[in-house]
Structure 1
Amino acid sequence: MGFVHFITELLRDPRAAIASWIAMGVAPTLGFIFLIVFIETGVVFFPFLPGDSLLFAAGVFAAPDATTGKVALPLMALLPVVWLAPIIGDQCNFLIGHFFGRRIIASGKVKAMTPERIEKTEKMIEKWGPLAVFLGRFFPFIRTFMPFISGISGMRWARFTPFSILGGLCWSSLFTFLGYFFGNIPAVQQHFELVIVLILVVSLVPTIVGLLKAKFGKKRPAAHAAAGAGSATSADANSDANAR
């Protein structure tokens, strides 16, 4: 229950979670941030962890306070942590997929890994190749499944790694610096929870749209095929009638 409560509080208010960690010291705070980002990226069972919002909140604490000028979390200490966590996590997840991926999928233990999400990830890899590893980094759930599916698909480690490193650096830097430069704006501070929700929504929109396309895109061709078959049958019937 303690772990569930920890994750629930983190999802609900990452700023308050980081504030409680800072009370324990900078080193534990950096350790927790590394652990959460690493687990979201590197362990296929935890795709729901709030990587985007956690990085944004961490960036807020790395910025100088608007009134005192003090810094709660040194930026130069934070950046190596948020850079290394997704890169190492991707490597771990790739190896898990390569050696154990088929058995994990067959077990059905990863409930979040639905057939639609697996299909979407595989289609990204088929369309973009290793570039999909970079692009997938910016989509929740997909960024957890991408290295895992890449390992299953037989993508070579030498092709996977450069795009994984580039994606990890760009993603972590983007959200950390968004928090650093914009998190202390009064309007953002007053509506911080709403900003976090908006970050989650914007991050999830491409994934939701892709899933809807995958779901309804299959029905339309089937409907067209059925309509075409019906038209063909009607045409054949009319031809037979005319022949008679």
Structure 2
Amino acid sequence: MTHFDWKQLFNPEFYILLEIAGVKIGLYVVLFIVFAETGLLAGFFLPGDSLLFLCGIYSESLLKDFSTGSDFLNVSILASLISLMGILGNVFGYWVGKKSGSYLYKRQDSFFFKKKYLFQSKDFFEKYGSKAIVFARFLPIVRTFAPVVAGIVNMDRKRFMFFSVLGSILWSFTMIFAGHYLYELFKIEFGIDLKHYIEFIVFGIIAVTTVPVLWKLFKKRVHIE
């Protein structure tokens, strides 16, 4: 029996290549993660942007049982499925916020829920308004709680749906197509297989997406103090 390393839970490649009894379930796991990241308020610690970028690289493997024979169509279908799950997750998060009201602000912290992230998302939402739903898709942690905040402040449902659909489509298609076609570009033009540099790619994407957010929060704390 292969020893399980809990650190694999933070590795997006682990989910994409996951098999149970010889059956590849990576596609279903990825779709669930995208939903859980906003719908279940439990995904702030899960890989988000890096997961989608790697989905683009492994698109052929993920859609092996559903291949259409067209590379572009396959990637488009994958991006559409992930976009749909992102929309559903946002809608569920919005519903949770609308129903829970102020309860979440009084809830105790746990491994799956950090109240400080809720306050940070609220500040982000107040600064950018409806556009925060779009911007949040590209920001770890914030995208988990932004839909909930939208529900708490009773954002207009139709307006929320419009920006939710727009943000999810932009996020999924941008990250997946970037991963897929950059992988092909490097392999064909430079003979470099990006699959051999997954760790560097993951760390790079995490740095690009999270460092600006952390820096902004740090500056805000320093300003307050």
Which TM-score band applies after superposition, normalised by the shorter structure? 0.7 to 0.9
Which aligned pairs between 1:215-230 and structure 2 lie closer than 5 A? 215-219=221-225
CA distance in 2, matches of 1:7, 1:104: 28
Deviations 1:156-195 (A, max 9, x none): 2122111111011111111111110113531633322111
Q: Does 1:167 align with 2:167?
A: yes
Q: Which amino acid aligns with 1:134?
A: V
Q: TM-score, normalised by structure 1?
A: 0.75
Q: Judge conservation of contact 1:79–1:173 (CA < 8 Å) in 2.
A: yes
Matching residue of 2:64: none
Matching residue of 1:198: 204
Which aligned pairs between 1:96-111 and structure 2 lie closer than 5 A? 96-110=96-110
CA distance in 1, matches of 2:88, 2:211: 27
Q: TM-score, normalised by structure 2?
A: 0.80
3-state SS of paired residue (2:114):
coil
CA distance in 1, matches of 2:100, 2:57: 38
Matching residue of 2:131: 131
The structure with the largest alpha-carbon Rg is 1
Taking a change above 3 Å as real, the CA distance of residues 102 and 60 of structure 1, as seen in their structure-2 partners, is: same
Matching residue of 1:24: 23
The alpha carbon displacement at 1:24 in A equals: 1.6
Matching residue of 1:53: 50
CA distance in 1, matches of 2:51, 2:135: 20
Matching residue of 1:9: 8
The alpha carbon displacement at 1:108 in A equals: 1.5
Taking a change above 3 Å as real, the CA distance of residues 189 and 141 of structure 1, as seen in their structure-2 partners, is: same
CA distance in 2, matches of 1:7, 1:174: 30
Matching residue of 2:66: none
Q: Judge conservation of contact 1:131–1:163 (CA < 8 Å) in 2.
A: yes
Matching residue of 1:189: 195
Query: Which structure dedicates a bigger proportion of its chain to helix?
Result: 1
Q: Does 1:42 align with 2:39?
A: yes
Q: Judge conservation of contact 1:57–1:183 (CA < 8 Å) in 2.
A: no
The alpha carbon displacement at 1:201 in A equals: 1.3
The alpha carbon displacement at 1:21 in A equals: 3.8
Unaligned runs of 5+ in 2: 62-69, 187-191
Moved over 6 A (4+): none
The alpha carbon displacement at 1:79 in A equals: 2.3
CA distance in 2, matches of 1:6, 1:163: 38
Q: Which amino acid aligns with 2:13?
A: R
Deviations 1:128-171 (A, max 9, x none): 21111111111000000100111112212122111111011111
Matching residue of 2:67: none
3-state SS of paired residue (2:139):
coil
Q: Which amino acid aligns with 1:18?
A: I
Taking a change above 3 Å as real, the CA distance of residues 45 and 102 of structure 1, as seen in their structure-2 partners, is: farther
The alpha carbon displacement at 1:15 in A equals: 2.3
Q: Does 1:212 align with 2:218?
A: yes
Unaligned runs of 5+ in 1: 65-69, 220-244
Q: Judge conservation of contact 1:63–1:181 (CA < 8 Å) in 2.
A: no
Matching residue of 1:230: none
3-state SS of paired residue (1:206):
helix
Matching residue of 1:113: 114
